[in-house]
Each structure stands twice: as C-alpha cells, then as structure tokens.
Amino acid sequence: MKKMRETLKTVFTNTFDLPSEVTLELPRITMIGSIHAYIENHQGLIVFSETELLLKIHQGNVRINGEGFVLKMMIDKDILLEGTIKDVKFEDE
C-alpha cells in the first residue's frame, strides 16, 4: 500500500513537472563549496557535534562529516550548517 502511494507520487511529479522536493518530501541540500550547507525540508535532528551532523530525512538519514561545525541558523525545517564539510552521506533506514 505504502509502496503504491510512493510510485503514484513519483508518477504525479514527473507528469506535471513539479519540483521533486515539494511533492516527494525530499530534502534539498544547497552547498557553497565545502564551507556551507543549507538543508531544507529535513525531518529532525538526530546528532549534532563539532564533527558530525545527522539529520532524519524521508526514508532515511543524511550524515554530514567535517570539522568545526556550527549551526548558523535553525528554523522549523531548515538548517544552515557552517564549517569544513568533508562528506555527505545518504543512509537508508
């Protein structure tokens, strides 16, 4: 049932040419070089430390590793991360 709904959503998005992050509840991650990462539409913060940021996203997590992390801004579903970003990993549930 859940799978069917996901497929329907994808088809819907592709047919009407809608931005995928809106309909599919996917996060949008904007990065400026390796110093800034702007994550929109995440679903919660799990771990944050100087070297790591773990965010819950739709169907999984996103893990950002690096150094000297500071959350420059935290609004409802957006996070602006500042620091030296080494890698961004998507992990399944």
Partner 1 sequence: MFFYKKNWLKGYITIEIRGQYPEHFFDMCARYGIPSWDVSKKNTTAAIGKIKLSDLSKLRRIKKRSIYKVYFKERTGLPFLIDSLGSQKPLIIGCMIAFAIIFILSNIVWRIDVSGLDEEIENKVLLQMEEYGLEKGSFQWNIDSPAILQKKLLEDIPELLWVGVKKNGSAFHLEGVEKTTVEKPEEAEVGHLIAAKEGVIVDLFVSKGQPLVRPNDVVYKDDILVSAYLEQQEEEDEGNKAKPLAAEGEVIAKVWYKSEVSIPLTNNYHVLNGQAETKHYLHFSSFLIPFWNFMNPDYTNYQMETEEKNFYFLKWKLPISYIKQTIYQSEVMEKKMEKQEAKTLALEQAKRELLRQLPLDAEITEEKVLHERVESGKVKLTLYYTVLENIAKKQPISQGD
Helices marked H in the chain — which ranges? 2-16, 20-23
Kindly state the smallest distance separating residue 39's Cβ from partner 1, in Å. 12
Q: What is the DSSP letter of 1?
A: -
49 scored as a contact of partner 1 (CB under 8 A): yes
* Spatial distance between the Cα atoms of 39 and 30, rounded to a whole number of angstroms: 6
69 scored as a contact of partner 1 (CB under 8 A): yes
How far is the first Cα of the chain from the last one, in angstroms, to the nearest whole number?
19
Site string for partner 1, 16-35 (x = CB under 8 A): --------------------
Binding site for partner 1 (CB under 8 A): 44-45, 47-50, 69-77, 79
